[in-house]
Amino acid sequence: MTRETGVDSVRGSHHRVVNHFFHDFHGEISTIIMCIGAVRDGIGGEISPPQRETLERAIDNCEQMVRLINNYRDRTQMEEGTYPRVPEEVDLSEAMRQLAVATQPFARERNVKLEIRGDGLPKVRFRAALLGRVLENLLLQVIENTPARAGVEVQARIAERKLEVRVRFEGEELDEEQAPSVFDPVRQATLGLRLGRGYTLLFCKEAISYLGGDIRITPWKGRGNELVARVAFEEQGGNETAEATDATR
Amino acid sequence: MDKKARIYMVDDDTYLVQVVQWVFEAEGYEFFSAHCAKDALENVDKVNPDLIILDVMMEDVVAGFRVLNALRNGEDAARNARYAKVPILMFTSIQQRTKMKFSQDAGTALLPTDAFVEKPVQPKLLLEKVAELLSKR
């Protein structure tokens, strides 16, 4: 066996293990979420509000595990070049509404005021599933790390032929030099930065880069911080922007 | 809500089926199950369900789609007509796994289903979707 075929064999085996794990994991976690949800909904008998709250938190944790394994599988596929690249038609305004549907319950639970603005955006051709996953991950991380009663504002717009999503969140302002370390799980922990959990923000950054875009974080002077993600898309009937094409070659 | 409706769940995950049975029986539904496509097709007429909850990946990766097509696009026209009126809800993680987008709105001749619900899901959402499909009958 040459070194190259050995490496290919290990990669192929890794891919199979991840796929197998992904499938089995969804089965097991489905049963756990269904069980906890049934108890929370009182199907096994009355429960107290504190008990319900504890079970809500357990479901949140399970859903976070689902996101983590989904991210890991996506990350593996991007690395291997097997992530599906066929763009589909996406109504960006509808995508922002879906983002609100996916994140508002968690914001309410955390007592965070969430406002998402994205009306009047065009329909474009895009790798929609990945974009949706990234934005949801990003926003849930922000909500989780925003103090109760504080606000999170999301504004989506088209700028220089890219979708720009600006997420402003109130709270402790990150040091300007240290802020970019929120995307590095090791430095994030070392510096004690409060935004993000483990690899989620790193996944968001890598996925956005895969989509031909970039993300940065800057202080929102006197109020908190701001994440700005820009991703390229393919216009209806047109060509994908150069950045996106390069990133996915 | 259409209580006492007969729900037939086809899924190879026996523990998941058990919990879903617990949830649906608590809401007053009658609940029946099968754990593979072959058993599902053998017993479906005897169960006479009002709604079918169908997994996709069971003994093989498209077993659920095979059941779906046997019930609605099979060679027996009378059977096709009968199951055209029984809502079939695909309960699956295949979209997550394959990244292929399945929808009851597109290509209904190929995938003649009434709804897709992605696993994992909380019981309340599954109950709501089932109630919605039953109310449309």
What are the tens digits of pLDDT across the range B25-79?
999 999 999 999 999 999 999 999 999 999 988 888 788 989 999 999 888 999 9
Q: What is the CATH number of the domain that holds B19?
A: 3.40.50.2300
| Beta-sheet strands, E only, within chain A | 88-91, 113-117, 123-126, 151-159, 162-170, 214-220, 224-232, 234-235
Mean pLDDT of the residues in chain B: 86
Model pLDDT, residue A44: 80
The answer to whether residue B1 sits within a structural domain is no
Is the pTM higher than 0.90? The answer reads no
Model pLDDT, residue B105: 53
Model pLDDT, residue A71: 84
Residue with tokens 């979708």: A163
A176: closest CA of chain B, how far (Å):
37
Residue A223 carries which DSSP code? T
- Asked if A18 reaches chain B (Cβ–Cβ under 8 Å), the answer is no
Mean pLDDT of the B123-137 span = 93
Domain with B26, as residue range(s), is 6-132
What are the tens digits of pLDDT across the range A178-199?
888 888 877 776 666 666 556 7
B21: closest CA of chain A, how far (Å):
11
State yes or no: pLDDT of B133 exceeds 60.
Answer: yes
Q: Taking CB atoms and an 8 Å cutoff, what residues of chain A touch B101?
A: 88, 129
Model pLDDT, residue A244: 38
Rounded to the nearest angstrom, the gap between the alpha carbon of residue A193 and the centroid of all alpha carbons in its chain is 18
Count CB atoms within 10 A of the CB of residue A155.
15
State yes or no: pLDDT of B106 exceeds 70.
Answer: no
Report the residue from B13, B26, B124 with minimal CB separation from A31: B13
User: What is the residue-wise DSSP string for A3-71?
Assistant: HHHHHHHHHHHHHHHHHHHHHHHHHHHHHHHHHHHHHHTTTTS---HHHHHHHHHHHHHHHHHHHHHHH
Model pLDDT, residue B70: 93
Model pLDDT, residue A176: 82
Burial label, B68 (beta-carbon count in 10 A; 0-12, 13-18, 19+) = buried
Residue with tokens 């809800």: B89
Q: What is the ipTM of this complex?
A: 0.77
Interface touch B122/A29, C-beta < 8 Å: no
Question: Over the Cα atoms of chain A, what is R_g?
Answer: 20
- Asked if B124 reaches chain A (Cβ–Cβ under 8 Å), the answer is yes
Residue numbers of chain A with a pLDDT score lower than 50: 238-249
Model pLDDT, residue A181: 85
Q: How many domains does chain B have?
A: 1
The answer to whether residue B137 sits within a structural domain is no
